[in-house]
Structure 1
Amino acid sequence: MDEQVVRQDAELQKLEQEFVCVRLIQMKGVDLHLFQFDYDQSWAVFFLNSDGAIYGRYGTRAGDKRNAANHISIASFKKAIERALELHKAYPANQTQLAGKRGPKPQFPVAEQIPGLQDRAVDETTPKNCIHCHMVGEHVRKLKYQKKQLSPADVWVYPLPTNIGITLNVDDGLRVESVTPNSPAARAGVEAGDELSAMNGQPLISQADIQWVLHNSPVETMIDLALERGGRSLTKALRLDGNWKESDLSWRESSWSFRPGLWTIALSNEERSKRGLPATETALLVRWVFGKPPLAKQAGLKDGDVIVGLDGQPVPSDESHFHAQIRLHHPPGDQARLTLWRNGQREEVLLPLE
């Protein structure tokens, strides 16, 4: 996507001439109060007024490198630019509506003040000494874990519209392509073909703007969703609760340090059957035990082990919930009790956390 934008086509070039375009390739010195976004993104855009008002964000990812561009396209990027320009024309009359697009004041104003990244401020910026985007969220979360302040809101970040039942047209960015039956969106009355325009009063220019509102909303909440349908302006009330923020973490670069020294994948019914496990029992296969940190290896875990239990309960059905449950329920210095399936027998090991 970055290469496509840099190369540009004539239409995109004309749109970008309406802005002063600045390209940043690392986070050292970047204002973290202004530039708050999903730091695991491989590509993100802010549309700003010169006074710092944010018109909107662009850039959504939810998958590994093979699927990194499933939620973005040049077509929807152009539409986001056009929508941002419309907001600019209406500024400052719409200033109050845009206020929520700026996040709360962060603990650290710049990335190089975050513990674990401070040494990178000393030397010249090089490929080995830059601050990658993912490092910002990763080290803030690590600090919270060390201080025993980690919460689910720190783990489950920037949920997709699909989490609430809305699948958007990739080339439009705001037009509803389908609605999942019995989802919060379906219960609110959202329909395929609807064009989303605002959430909680914040004007939308892209899917990333939707994620911003969802990310900053509590788990139990009511969100006002404004939309256009057949020439009519409607408002729907989205009632959200439960585990709607939870999603796959495995693609996130920041997830590697979140793992407690091992990489796992879920076993299929067929693979469980081959190992003599009931098809109804959840199981995770240990694909790789890290050398650093060595805690999992020292606990006796090996590549090829099968984990069937965590703290006396069935192991979560996927790696994301497995690691989240460990980190949220076991502070540094504690131990997680894992039940393994080895050679047709169950064994228990204690996994220390740091």
Structure 2
Amino acid sequence: MADKFVLMRIINMRGVDLTTFDFDYDLTWAAFFMNANEHIYGRYGGRDEGPADKGLSIEGLTYAMEAALAAHARDPNAQPKRLAKEVHSVDRFAAARRLKKDQCIHCHQVYDFDRDRLALANKWSKDEVWVYPPPKNIGLVLDRKQGDRIDAILPGSSAAAAGMRENDVLLRLGEINVASYADAQYALHRAPKSGRLVAVWTRGDRTLTRTLALENGWRESDISWRGSMWGLEPQAQVYGRDLTAEQKRELGLPPRRLAFSQGDFVPRESRKAGIHARDIIIGIDGKELEMTMLQFNVYVRLNYKVGERITFNVNRNGKRLEIPMTLQSRLRR
């Protein structure tokens, strides 16, 4: 199958046109199927908070490649819909210009640098973190081996309300043709924060078109897996290894309760506040949270502001401690 494509690998985002190569920059790996005019027939990749390769398979990749070849056969000279007349690259961001000229720019840094740009212009909103909503947010569970086939519909979802069913085959979401999880996720990324999204699918020999309702907050998901999450502010300044259920039990904590051991390196602000290596972080401001260490770092970033005074709830050698700290910014101004 690969011999039917001209293969190209991008390992540095310098000079890459973000208008053309518009994808989830937190991914470990992503693929585009495109022609010589830079028209994109489809995508492959994508993920949610689960394992990075949970939705990937050789069969699914092959299916998406076959769909791209079929689309190319129908319209080999397809032209892209240009969103900008000039190349829009990460090199233009101020944060990128602070790097050495030959320094590699990683994919996830695109989010970091764009966030920096918006924040310095006072245009940043935490709504910006909800990129590439997973299909399950509208109730779709897609087949790993055939990315346009609906494996399940989640009860109470917008997909269920629209009448979509298991084994239906997606054709389009919005203006995006769907042959993979990545196609569906890209369509959702481009969908509005609230409103409606047109879905087209087949059921047997019938083609159905319905409108899905998108309520406020529908884009929100667990972003704790994202590398760009660490660039959000305020910084929690604590991180480490989650305790096992058995270790939590020994501390008298339920298995889902937040509890992680601060690593050997303690960041400056938390060290100044009094956090020690191997302290067990069990909460903040007395809240008994049920989440992982990564989710806790997201929680602080989304629910607190720079300059707020917080109190870490800590277990140190069996003793409960309350350690206050002021949350800090990371932006270079």
TM-score of the pair, normalised by structure 2: 0.81
How far is the alpha carbon of 1:242 from its aligned partner? 4.7
How many Å separate the matches in 2 of 1:210 and 1:275?
Answer: 44
Q: What secondary structure, in the 3-state scheme, does the structure 1 residue paired with 2:151 have?
A: strand
2:48 maps to 62
Q: Partner of 1:117: helix, strand, or coil?
A: helix
User: Cα RMSD between the aligned structures?
Assistant: 3.4
Q: Indicate conservation of the 8 Å contact 1:264/1:284, yes or no.
A: no
**How many matched pairs?**
324
Asked whether the 8 Å contact 1:276–1:344 carries over to 2, the reply is no
Q: CA deviation at 1:285?
A: 2.7
Gaps of 5+ in 2: none
**Aligned-partner residue type, residue 308 of structure 2:** Q
Q: Which residue of 1 aligns with 2:239?
A: 263
Alignment of 1:196-275 (within 5 A): 196-258=170-232, 260-263=236-239, 274-275=250-251
2:157 and 2:189 map into 1 onto residues whose CA distance is 18
SS in structure 2 opposite 1:238? strand
Partner of 2:4: 15
**Cα shift readout 1:108-147 (whole Å, capped 9, x = no counterpart):** 9222232332244523xxxxx3111111112222443455
Calculate the TM-score normalised by the size of structure 1.
0.77
1:82 aligns with 2:73: no
Aligned pair 1:144/2:133, yes or no? no
State the SS of the aligned residue for 2:325. strand
Counterpart contact for 1:336–1:353, Cα < 8 Å:
no
1:280 to 1:316, Cα distance in 2 relative to 1, 3 A? closer
Q: Indicate how the Cα distance of structure 1 residues 63 and 122 shifts in structure 2: closer, same or farther if over 3 A, else same.
A: same
Distance, in Å, in 1 between the alignment partners of 2:85 and 2:107 is 15
Distance 2:324 2:243 in 1: 20
- Report what 1:28 is aligned to: 14
How far apart, CA to CA, are the structure 2 residues paired with 1:42 and 1:270?
Answer: 32
Task: Tell me the equivalent position of 1:42.
Answer: 28
CA distance in structure 1 between the partners assigned to 2:259 and 2:112 by the alignment: 24
Give the secondary structure class of the aligned counterpart of 1:116. helix
2:273 aligned partner: 299
Alignment match, 1:185: 159
Once the two structures are TM-superposed, the CA of residue 85 in structure 1 deviates from its matched residue by 3.0
1:157-168 counterparts in 2 under 5 A?
157-168=131-142
Distance in 2, Cα, partners of 1:119 & 1:272: 44
Preserved CA contact (<8 Å) 1:150 1:328:
no
